[in-house]
Structure 1
C-alpha cells in the first residue's frame, strides 16, 4: 500500500464459474424475479415516531448486516430505505477506525463529496492510503443518515495503523499468486463477485447486470417508482448469493480479507455489548457471510496477533470522480462515476435529464444539437432497452442513442461525453476545520492570500513578475516544485519571452495532499520547508549540475537563507570537478540564475563569481576536450558549445570574457583534429556574432568542402554550420556565395559516397521552414547564372553585400520618436 493507494475492496480478477450449481443458484437468487417472491427475514412494521405510531420490533435475529457494492447508487438508496425502516441504535461502517474522530465533519455543509479519508504514517508520510466516498456511496449515505438522527457511527475495518505497516509484506497485497487453499484442497481463486454472478446469469457485461438487478430495481420510466415492500429483502438475497460464491470459491479468498473480517467481528461484538442487537452494519457484500458466521473471539484475535503497527494520522481530503473510475487503478472503481452520480441525484426522469446534459455539452463544443435530437435520443434509448429486455435504458443504451442521433454515428464527440459526463471531473471540498499538518494549513492560507485556488481541471496561468501578487505566486509555485509538490509545470509562454513573464500549467491532484504531508517533515511553512530541503539537497548532491540547478531553484523560489549553503556547496563541487562536460552543463543554469536575479532584485554577486570562474575554466579546457571525439561525443559537445555560448552572452560584464571565448571558437574552427560538426558550429557562432568576416567563413567552408575532405566529414561540417540553429536556412538564402559553395560541393560528391552523405543532409535541411526550403530549391534550380555573380564586397553577416544608406536613413525619425518619447 503506497502513496495513492485506495483501500476499500481491491479489484478481483473475474473468474469463469465452473458451471457449479452453487454459482448458478447464487445468480438466480440475486435476480429480480427471485427477489419478488421471497419471504422477508422478518416483518418490518412502522418505526416508532412515524405516522403509524407503532413501536417497531427489531427485524432480524442479531445485528442487521447490509451488504453493498462500494459506490453504487442503487445500494445507497437501498441502505437509506433500510435505515429509515429499522432505525438502528448504532451504525458500523467498513472503514479505518482512526476515522471515527472525523465522522462529525461529514455533517458540515462545507463538506462536499467526493471526499476521502487520508491516513498516512507519521514517520513516513509517503506511506499512505485513501478511503474514498462519493455522494452516491452507500457508506456516505449511511453516515449522513446517522448524523442527522444522532446515531453513533463507528468504523470497524482493520485500522490503518496495521494496514499501512503491513503494506510492505507481499502477501498482504492483491497478487493472485498469494491465495490460500479452499476446503477441497484446491487453491481458492480471488474473484469479482459481480462479474461471476453476471456471467452465471447469462450477461456478458457485469455493469449491465448490476444495473438491471440493483440500479433499476422497482424503478419506473419516470425515474421514481414505488419503494420495495420489504426494504431488507435485497440485502438478504445478495447475502445468500455471496455465501454461495464464498462456498464455491473458498472461504474469504485472500488472507487479507480474513484478517479484516476478524477485526470487523471483534468490533461488532463490542458494539453489541454496548447497544444490544439493534446495530446496523454497512460493508462490502463479499464480507456479509463472514460477519454473520459463527466465530470465537479467540480465533479472531489469533488472526490479528503479531501484525506490525505504525503511528498514523488521518484527515479528510477532496477527491474526484475521475479517481473513482476503474481505469484510474482504484481497486473498488466503477466504470461511470458521473453516470452513477446522475442516477442518484435525479429524483425523476433521469434519462431525459441525462440527454439534456449531453446536448448542452455538445452545444458548448459548437456542435448542432436541437431539442428534437434530445427527444429522438430518449425515444431510441427506450426502444433499445425494450428490445434488449432491460427494465430501463442503461448506460450502453444512452451511449448508443447519443452516438446515432446527436453524433451522426461518430465516436469522436461521444468520447467527449464519456470523458466529461460519464466519468467527469467533479472535485470535492473539505471544511477548514478538518485536521491537517501545519504545512497544509500554511499552504491553504497562501492559496487564499494569493487568490490561487487548487483546481482539478488543468489551466494556464500567465504571471508578470513586475506585479507583487504575481511574483508571490511564482515564488510559491517554485517552492512547491522544490518540495516535490508538482501543482504547476512551467512552460514556454506564447505572448512573451521576456524574463519578467512566466507561464504555468496548473492542475491539483488528490495525491498532492500526500506529498504535502510527506513534505511536512521539512518544516511547518512552505518557506521553511523549502529552505530546509534545499540546504539538505545541497549537502547531499555530488554532481555539479545538480547543485547549479538547485541554485537556480533557490533564486527562483527566493530562499535567501538556503542560498549561502547552496553557494558553498557549488563552489566546493566546481573546484573539484575537472570534467569540461560537467562544467558546460552547469554554466547555463548559473547564467539563467543571474538573469532572473536581476529581474527579481536578488543579490547574485556570489553566484556571478562562481559563474565567471566556471566560464574561465571552460575556455581553458574546452579545446583539448573537443579533440579525438567519436560521432556521438561530438554531437554532445556541440550541444554544450551552444549552451555555453548562450550562457556567456548572459553573464554581466562579459566583454573581456566574450573576447576570450571568441578566441576559443576560432581555435576550434581551424583545428583539423576536431570533428567537422564542432568546427562548423564554431564558425557559425563567430559569424553570427560578427567576429568572423564573410570571406573568412567562405574560406573555411571551402576548406571543409574541398576534394581532400571525406564527404561524410564535409556533410558533418555543413550540419554544424547551418543545421540546428535559428536562421540557418535564411543564411543560405541571403548569402549566395555560401549557397554556391554548398551547391558546387554537393554536385561533386562521388556517386559511391552520396548514399552516405544523403541522410545527414536530409536531417540538416529538414529542420528548415517549408518556405525556406522552397526558396533554396528555387535558387538551386535556377543555377548560378540566375542567382547573379558572386558578391565580392562584404556586407552585414547573413545578408547581401553593400548597404543602401538612403533606405537605412529612413528609419531614423521613427527611432528618434520611440526613444525620445514625449521629451
Structure 2
C-alpha cells in the first residue's frame, strides 16, 4: 500500500511499505508472516519490541537458541525490575526474525526502549521505592504494561489485548487461530499480502468504533512511527513492519483524520522522557516455557493452548492423527488404557464434528470433544491430564552460552551440566544419597541456591531410616533467571554468593544461628568461622530470651548435619552449651508477667528449644534446662498458657510424676481463679496431644469435673478456648477421648449439676434430638 509518512523530507515517498498486523503466538499468523515476507522481499524489517534487543538478533542463527525463549531486560541498579518479551516457534515475530537473519536482511526492534519502560518517575525518590517484582506479563502485543490500561470496560480491554480473538468471536469461532486460517490465510493463497491488508482494514473499523486509547499505547505508536521514518530516511526502499494487529492502522495511516506528524509524535515522546528517568538496562535471551505463554499464567498476550499451537505449526503431515496419538501417550502415562482403535475412532469423530459444524478442518474444540468422548470415556478428570500436559504443555526453550549473562548464571549452568541436571519445568521428585559424590554436590547446589532465594528445588520429607537421604521436588521456572541476576550482587559463583549472603544477613542472634545451620547444610565451611564468632558475641551480649530460644534449635540442627556432611562443627558445641546456659539463667525471670499474646508468641519457641535439648550431650547445662523449667513453673506471675505448658513438658520429660501433674491441674482449676485463665492453662497442658488424657484417668477426671461444674455463662466464656485446644486433636483422638470420658464414674445422669433442672421437661418432645445426639456421638466414638 502506498503511504506518505508525515514528517519526511521532500522526495521521501514510501511506495512499498507494508504493515503486517498479527496476532501474537499463533501458527496461522506465523505462517502468514513468513509467506508475506517471501512475497514482498523487503530490504528492511522492523518488529515490535524493545530496541535494546537489537544486539541479540545475531544469536537467532545459533542452533542452541531454541524457543520458547524470551528477551529479558532488567534494570542494572535493581535487577528485580525486569520485563520479558516471549517468543515461541509459532510466534510471527520469531519467524520474521529467522527470515531476516537467514537472508541477511537488516532487522531491528521499534517499540519503546526498555530503559523507559523500566524507568522511574522523575519525581520519585529511588530510596523510597518498594521492591519491584519482575514483569512476567510484558509482551510484544498491543499493551505491554497491563497495569497501564485505564479503561475499565471489559470489551475495550479485550480489544486492546486480542482484537483478532474479538473478530473471531463475532464470527462464531472460539479458536482465533483457526478463524485466521479459515477466513484469512486459507482463502488468500495467491497473495498473502492481501490477507494483511484485510486485517488492517478490519482493525481500522474496530479502532474507529472504539477510539479510546490509554497514554502508553499512544506513546508506543509514536515511537514506532518515529522508527519507521528513520528507516525510510536511511534509504530503505521496501520496509516491512511486523506488529500487533491493533497497531497496524496507526502505522499504516488508515485511521480517520490526518495521520500524526513527526512533530506531534516527538512531542508525545518528549512528554514521556520529561516525566520518566531512563534506567540503565541489560538485555539478554532467557529460556521460557509453554505454560508461561498460556493466558492462565496471567501473561497479557497469552494463548489458551500453546502446546496445540506448537503442534499445528510443526506438524506438516497428518497433524490430527499425530496429535491424538500423542494424546493417547499422555493418558497411558497416567495408567489410563487407550488403544490404537480408540485413536482411530477419535480421529473419525473429530472430522465428523468439524463437518457438522461447517469447519474445513477440526479445531481444538472438535479435538477435545472427541478426546473426551472416545479416549477419556466422558471423564473431565482424564481430559484435564490432556489439557495440562498436551494442550498447554511444559516445553522449555534453551539459549546458547554466547548469550549475555551474569557470571553467577554462567556458574549455575556450568555446574548443572557437570552434575547432569536438566532445566526441566515439569516438577519431578528426586531422592539423593548423600554418601555418593554426585548426589552430595547436587544437594550442595540446591541448598546454596535456596540461600540466594532461587528455589529451583524444594526439600521434601523422605520415608525410611538414615540421615543420608534427602528428598527434593525440582522444577525450573523462567523467573528464576531474574533471581539469579539479583543474587549476582553477592558474588560471581554460587558458593561465594551464598556465603556472602549468609554473613550479610546474620545481624541478630537468631539470624546468626540460622545462618550457621544453613552454612553447614550447604557445606560452606569458609564462612563458619566468621558466623561462629558473631554468634558468640551476640549470645554473650544478649538478654533476649526469645532470640536465645530461636538460636538453640538451629545450633543443634547444625551440629547434627555436620556429622552427615563431614563439616567440622566442634566449635558449635561450646557455643550451643553457652547459649543453653544463658537460657537456663534467664528463662524463669523472663517469662514471668507476660500477657496472653506474648505468651502465645513465646510458646512455639519454647517448645522447639525443649525438643532440641535432648539432642545435646548430657551434662550440667542440659540438666539445668529442666531445672529452669521447674523454677519457672513455680512462679505465681506465670501466664496461664505457659503454666500449663511447662507442667506438661516436665511431665513428658519424666521430671514431674503424674500425680504431681494432676495436683497442678487441680490447683489451676480450683475455685477462685479466673475462668479464662483456667481455659488457657488447660490449652497449654493439652497441647501435647490427647493420648495423655485418654490413658490417665486421674488427669481426665480433674478436667471432666471442672467442665461439668461450669455454669452456662462460664461455659460460653471458655468454649472458644477449649474448642481451639481440643480442635488440634486428631479425629481418632477426639473419639477415644469421648469414650474415656463416658467411662468415668457418674458420667451420665449423675453428672447433671442440678437434677431439678429437668423438671417440667417433656422428654418425649426431646426424644428425636437425643436420638440424633446419640447417633453423632456414636459416629465420633467409632472413628
Normalising to structure 1: TM-score of the pair?
A: 0.77
1:317 aligns with 2:286: yes
Distance 1:525 1:198 in 2: 46
Q: 1:279 — aligned with what?
A: 239
Distance 1:765 1:771 in 2: 12
1:484 aligns with 2:438: no
Alpha-carbon displacement from aligned partner over 1:524-560 (angstroms, at most 9, x marks no partner) = 111222223333323xx4x543333233223323334
Deviation at 1:148, TM superposition (A): 2.7
Deviation at 1:756, TM superposition (A): 4.8
Distance 1:567 1:248 in 2: 70
Alpha-carbon displacement from aligned partner over 1:317-375 (angstroms, at most 9, x marks no partner) = 11011111122222221122112112212224433433333333223223344444444
Distance 2:156 2:732 in 1: 64
1:413 aligns with 2:382: yes
Conserved 8 A contact 1:474-1:557: yes
1:245 aligns with 2:206: yes
Select the residue among 577, 584, 588 that pairs with 1:612. Answer: 577
1:633 aligns with 2:602: no
Conserved 8 A contact 1:69-1:284: yes
Q: 1:347 — aligned with what?
A: 316
Q: Structure 2: 5+ residue runs without aligned partners?
A: 4-13, 125-142, 254-258, 748-783
Distance 1:761 1:201 in 2: 60
1:92-107 residue pairs with structure 2 within 5 A? 92-107=46-61
Select the residue among 622, 634, 654 that pairs with 1:690. Answer: 654
Do the aligned partners of residues 578 and 443 (structure 1) sit closer, same or farther apart at CA in structure 2, a change above 3 Å counting? Answer: same
Alpha-carbon displacement from aligned partner over 1:256-284 (angstroms, at most 9, x marks no partner) = 33333333334334434556323322222
1:290 aligns with 2:250: yes
Deviation at 1:645, TM superposition (A): 1.1
Q: 1:724 — aligned with what?
A: 687
Conserved 8 A contact 2:168-2:174: no
Alpha-carbon displacement from aligned partner over 1:731-768 (angstroms, at most 9, x marks no partner) = 44554554455555555555664555555455444544
Distance 1:779 1:201 in 2: 68
Alpha-carbon displacement from aligned partner over 1:391-450 (angstroms, at most 9, x marks no partner) = 433223333333344434443222222222221111111122222111111111111222
Deviation at 1:126, TM superposition (A): 2.0
- SS of 1:111 mapped into structure 2: coil
Conserved 8 A contact 1:211-1:394: no
1:178-327 residue pairs with structure 2 within 5 A? 192=159, 203=170, 207-208=174-175, 210-217=176-183, 228-250=189-211, 253-273=213-233, 276-293=236-253, 296-305=261-270, 307=273, 308-327=277-296
Do the aligned partners of residues 138 and 729 (structure 1) sit closer, same or farther apart at CA in structure 2, a change above 3 Å counting? Answer: same
- SS of 2:79 mapped into structure 1: coil
Once the two structures are overlaid, the 10-residue window that deviates more, 522-531 or 590-599, is 590-599
1:401 aligns with 2:364: no
Q: 2:405 — aligned with what?
A: 436
Do the aligned partners of residues 166 and 334 (structure 1) sit closer, same or farther apart at CA in structure 2, a change above 3 Å counting? Answer: farther
Once the two structures are overlaid, the 10-residue window that deviates more, 467-476 or 600-609, is 600-609
Q: 2:772 — aligned with what?
A: none
Distance 1:719 1:202 in 2: 60
- SS of 1:508 mapped into structure 2: coil
Once the two structures are overlaid, the 10-residue window that deviates more, 313-322 or 603-612, is 603-612
Once the two structures are overlaid, the 10-residue window that deviates more, 323-332 or 154-163, is 154-163
Q: 1:537 — aligned with what?
A: 505
| Structure 1 consecutive aligned stretches of length 4 or more whose deviation exceeds 6 Å | 167-172
- SS of 1:70 mapped into structure 2: coil
Q: 2:16 — aligned with what?
A: 62
Distance 2:531 2:352 in 1: 70
Distance 2:487 2:651 in 1: 50
1:660 aligns with 2:624: yes
Conserved 8 A contact 1:63-1:278: yes
Conserved 8 A contact 2:679-2:721: yes
Conserved 8 A contact 1:41-1:236: no
1:582 aligns with 2:536: no
Deviation at 1:295, TM superposition (A): 5.8
Conserved 8 A contact 2:34-2:99: yes
Distance 1:689 1:301 in 2: 79
Q: 1:474 — aligned with what?
A: 443
Select the residue among 326, 332, 337 that pairs with 1:363. Answer: 332
Do the aligned partners of residues 751 and 61 (structure 1) sit closer, same or farther apart at CA in structure 2, a change above 3 Å counting? Answer: closer
Once the two structures are overlaid, the 10-residue window that deviates more, 451-460 or 673-682, is 673-682
Distance 2:606 2:487 in 1: 38
Distance 1:615 1:359 in 2: 61
Q: 1:55 — aligned with what?
A: none
Alpha-carbon displacement from aligned partner over 1:604-660 (angstroms, at most 9, x marks no partner) = 455444433332232222223333344433333332321221232233x45201221
1:148 aligns with 2:108: no
Normalising to structure 2: TM-score of the pair?
A: 0.81
Distance 2:701 2:170 in 1: 74
Q: 2:527 — aligned with what?
A: 562
Alpha-carbon displacement from aligned partner over 1:493-550 (angstroms, at most 9, x marks no partner) = 3334x54443322221101111111222222111222223333323xx4x54333323
Distance 2:177 2:168 in 1: 13
Do the aligned partners of residues 142 and 765 (structure 1) sit closer, same or farther apart at CA in structure 2, a change above 3 Å counting? Answer: same
Conserved 8 A contact 1:425-1:456: yes
Distance 1:191 1:772 in 2: 54
Aligned residues: 708
Conserved 8 A contact 2:164-2:245: no
Deviation at 1:386, TM superposition (A): 4.1
Select the residue among 681, 684, 694 that pairs with 2:645. Answer: 681
Do the aligned partners of residues 97 and 433 (structure 1) sit closer, same or farther apart at CA in structure 2, a change above 3 Å counting? Answer: same
Once the two structures are overlaid, the 10-residue window that deviates more, 435-444 or 78-87, is 78-87
- SS of 2:78 mapped into structure 1: coil
Distance 1:330 1:229 in 2: 35
Conserved 8 A contact 2:159-2:166: no
1:426 aligns with 2:395: yes
